[in-house]
Amino acid sequence: MSEETIFSKIIRKEIPSDMLYQDELVTAFRDITPQAPSHILIIPNKVIATVDDVTTDDELTLGRMFTVAAKIARDEGISDDGYRLIVNCKDHGGQEVYHIHMHLLGGRPLGAMVKR
């Protein structure tokens, strides 16, 4: 699955973004509708539609997403108090863009993850 997404255009800098990090594997930028004081999206540069489409070939990229999340959390000053990482999968999981992306949220207490 390698369909073009809005994130593909952000990776190529065809759409402006507040980019915080980019290397050969991943790109990170601020969410345009933040849900917390720090709300950053971390995406693979390769289009992977959903978690169900991940293969063992993607392990290095997915690992890089986590190390970049930790780096950005430190840079944002939110690592000491903690933060949340969210990856949604398909409709019931709340996925809106079918290009895997990790939400890094922090900067305030985030409360319960799911309503009981």
Assess if residue 63 is contained within a domain. Answer: yes
Answer yes or no: is pLDDT of 66 > 90: yes
Give residue 54's identity as a one-letter amino acid code. Answer: V
Q: Is 101 annotated in the active site? A: yes
Assess if residue 113 is contained within a domain. Answer: no
Answer yes or no: is pLDDT of 116 > 60: yes
Burial zone of 101 (CB within 10 Å; 0-12 exposed, 13-18 middle, 19+ buried):
buried
Answer yes or no: is pLDDT of 1 > 60: no
Q: What is the pTM of this model?
A: 0.93
Q: Which of 39, 92, 99, 101 is catalytic?
A: 101
Q: How far apart are the first and last CA of the chain?
A: 35
pLDDT of 2 reads 57
Assess if residue 116 is contained within a domain. Answer: no
Q: Using one digit for the tens of pLDDT, what is the confidence trace for 34-51?
A: 999 999 999 999 999 999
Could you tell me which of 91, 101, 83 has the C-alpha nearest to residue 36?
A: 83
Rounded-to-integer distance, Cα 70 and Cα 111, Å: 20
**CATH number of the domain to which 62 belongs:** 3.30.428.10
